[in-house]
Amino acid sequence: MSIDPRVALQSLSAALEEHLVAASARRGEGDPNVEAAFFAIADAFEVYEDALYEAYSEVTPLQVFDDEEEDEDSLDDDLESLED
């Protein structure tokens, strides 16, 4: 079942809006509302990326990281490539 990329983009935009609301109302470190909104963005982005690729064989320049360790490794690699 394919999803219209426009519908997936609307869902991604809504997830980003919800994250902003959650972040602005954050109640300390590790707020479960912010964490849930964070993961909702990741999920919505993956649906959008899949729909975009299926419809137009196109991708975005964005990437969702799976965990903090991968984040740090990729950030180090990105910083090194900028320094070259």
User: Tell me: the pLDDT tens digits for 11-25?
Assistant: 999 999 999 999 999
d(CA 44, CA 2): 14
Q: Which amino acid is at 65?
A: F
pLDDT of residue 74: 61
CB 6 within 8 A of CB 21: no
**pLDDT one-digit tens code per residue, 40-84:** 999 999 999 999 999 999 999 999 887 665 555 666 676 777 765
pLDDT of residue 35: 95
pLDDT of residue 63: 92
- Assess whether pLDDT exceeds 80 at residue 33: yes
Q: Which amino acid is at 53?
A: Y
User: Phi and psi of 30, rounded to 5°?
Assistant: 75, 25
pLDDT of residue 82: 74
Which residues touch 69 (CB under 8 Å, ≥6 apart)?
A: none
